[in-house]
Amino acid sequence: MRLEHVRLADFRNYASLEFAPAQGLNVFVGPNAQGKSNLLEALAMLGTGKSFRAHRESELIRTGSERAEIGGEARIAAGEVRLRCTLTTTPAGTRKTFAVNGGSVGFARFLGRTRVVTFVPADLQLASGGPSLRRAFLNGALAQLSPVYYRDLALYGKIVQQKAALLRGAIAADRELLLAYNDELVRPARALIAARRAFAAELSEATGAMYARWRGARERLTLTYAANPEGDVAEALAAQLDAEVRRRATLVGPHRDDLRLLVDGKPLAAFGSQGQQRTAVLALKVAEYDVMRARSGEAPILLLDDVLSELDAERAGGFLGAVEGFEQAFLTTTDLPRDLGAAATWSIRAAALTPC
C-alpha cells in the first residue's frame, strides 16, 4: 500500500501542507525543529489514528488554531481510499473524528485502512526498557491488523481501569463488584493472550532469522511471550482476588505480561551488550514489517524517524536492505546520507517542503 496524496491543515507546526509522495523511498532532510518528525507523526496517524509521541492530543493542533486536519489518499489492495482525521478543541477537551471516503466512521473502522510500521529513536529501548514498551509494540501491530483485537483491547483496558479504581478506593472494595469485573475480564483477556501468543511465535521466527543474519549463527535470538498468568485466566483471577484486595492493585491479566527477548536463552535486557540490544531491535522491526505483510497480504508503509543518525552506517544500510521490497517508506534525517536510492527527497524548513 502507499500514500499518493497528503494534506495537513493546522497540524503541529504546519499551517497548511499538500504533497504527493513517491512510490519507494521518500526522504525528508532538514535541520532540527523544522517539522520532520511532525510530518511522520501525521502520516502514522493516518494508519493508527494515534500519535506515536504526543502525551496530550491538544499538542497536535497548531498553536493558535482550534482544529487540525490530516488527510490522505492511499492506494491499497482494495483500491483507492480517502482518509481524514480531524482534531478539534472543545470545552470538554480535544475531540478526534475520522472519515473514510468522505463518510464519518468510528475509530475502529478507521484504524488499519493503511498500515504503518514506525521506527523512532524511542524504539531503541524496546530490548532494554520495561515490559510496557513491548506490550505497546504488540498492541500497535495487532490493532492495525485486526479490528477485533482492537475492540478486545479497548474493552479489556476499560474494565481493568474500573477494577483498579475500585481496588484503590478509600473504602474496602465490594467483593461482588470485583467478581463481576473479573467475569467480564475473562473473555477479552483470553482473546488478547491468544492473539499475542500467536503473533509472538511468528515474530520470534522472523526476528531470530534476521538477528542471525547480522550477528552470525553462533548467537540465537528468541522471543517468548510471557503471559500473566501462565495458566488459565479465570482460575488465576479467582486465586489472586484476596491478594488484589490486600495490595489494592490488579495483579493478573495481560496488562501485566511481557514479550521476552532472549539471546541463547538469557534475557537480553539484563545480559545483552548495547550492540546486541540494538541489533535485536532492528531485527524485531524488520520482523514486525514482514509478519504484518505476510498476514495482511500487503506491504505496510514504513516510517523511519531519525533512526539512521542513531545507528552506525553499517547497521542503517543493513536495516534498509533487510526490509526488502517495501512499497513505500518515509525517512527523516538531518544529514542526507550517501546514496540511499531515494525515489524522492524533500528539504523541510519551517514546515515547508521543497523538492531537492
Ligand X SMILES: Nc1ncnc2c1ncn2[C@@H]1O[C@H](COP(=O)(O)OP(=O)(O)O)[C@@H](O)[C@H]1O
How, if at all, do strands 328-333 and 24-29 pair?
parallel
The site partner of 255 among ligand X, Mg ion, none (C-beta below 5 to 8 Å per kind) is: none
The site partner of 63 among Mg ion, ligand X, none (C-beta below 5 to 8 Å per kind) is: ligand X
CB of 13 to Mg ion, least distance (A): 11
Report whether 18 contacts 66 (CB < 8 A): no
Q: Which is nearer to ligand X, 37 or 279 (CB)?
A: 37
18 to 21, 33, 354: CA distances (angstroms): 10, 19, 11
In sequence order, what DSSP letters do the residues of 175-192 get, joined into one string?
A: HHHHHHHHHHHHHHHHHH
The site partner of 48 among ligand X, Mg ion, none (C-beta below 5 to 8 Å per kind) is: none
CB of 253 to Mg ion, least distance (A): 35
Q: Which is nearer to ligand X, 22 or 348 (CB)?
A: 348
Q: Which is nearer to ligand X, 39 or 221 (CB)?
A: 39
Nearest to 153 by CA among 145, 161, 163, 143: 143
Q: Which is nearer to Mg ion, 40 or 282 (CB)?
A: 40
Q: Which residue ranges make up the site for ligand X (CB under 6 A)?
A: 12-13, 30, 32-38, 59, 61-63
The site partner of 254 among ligand X, Mg ion, none (C-beta below 5 to 8 Å per kind) is: none
Cα 75 to the center of its chain, rounded Å: 21
CB of 115 to Mg ion, least distance (A): 22
The site partner of 34 among ligand X, Mg ion, none (C-beta below 5 to 8 Å per kind) is: ligand X
CB of 306 to Mg ion, least distance (A): 5
Q: Which is nearer to Mg ion, 36 or 115 (CB)?
A: 36
Nearest to 302 by CA among 107, 21, 31: 21
Main-chain phi, psi angles of 341, to 5 degrees: 75, 35
Q: Cell numbers 508503509 correspond to what residue? A: 301
Instruction: Tell me the CA end-to-end span of the chain in Å, nearest whole number.
Output: 25
CB of 184 to ligand X, least distance (A): 38
Q: Which is nearer to Mg ion, 29 or 259 (CB)?
A: 29
CB of 36 to ligand X, least distance (A): 3
CB of 286 to ligand X, least distance (A): 23
Return the residue nearest Mg ion (CB atom).
Answer: 37
Cross-strand pairs, 261: 223
The site partner of 38 among ligand X, Mg ion, none (C-beta below 5 to 8 Å per kind) is: ligand X
The runs of H, that is alpha helices, within 123-232 are: 131-145, 147-168, 175-215
Q: Which residue ranges make up the site for Mg ion (CB under 5 A)?
A: 36-37
70: CB partners within 8 A, 6+ apart = 6, 7, 8, 11, 42, 45, 46, 84, 85, 86
Q: Which is nearer to ligand X, 166 or 351 (CB)?
A: 351
Cell numbers representing residue 239 in the block: 486465586
The site partner of 146 among Mg ion, ligand X, none (C-beta below 5 to 8 Å per kind) is: none
Q: Which is nearer to ligand X, 211 or 346 (CB)?
A: 346
The site partner of 66 among ligand X, Mg ion, none (C-beta below 5 to 8 Å per kind) is: none
Q: Say whether 330 sits in a helix, a strand or coil.
A: strand
CB of 352 to Mg ion, least distance (A): 16
The rounded distance, in Å, linking the Cα atoms of 290 and 275 is: 23
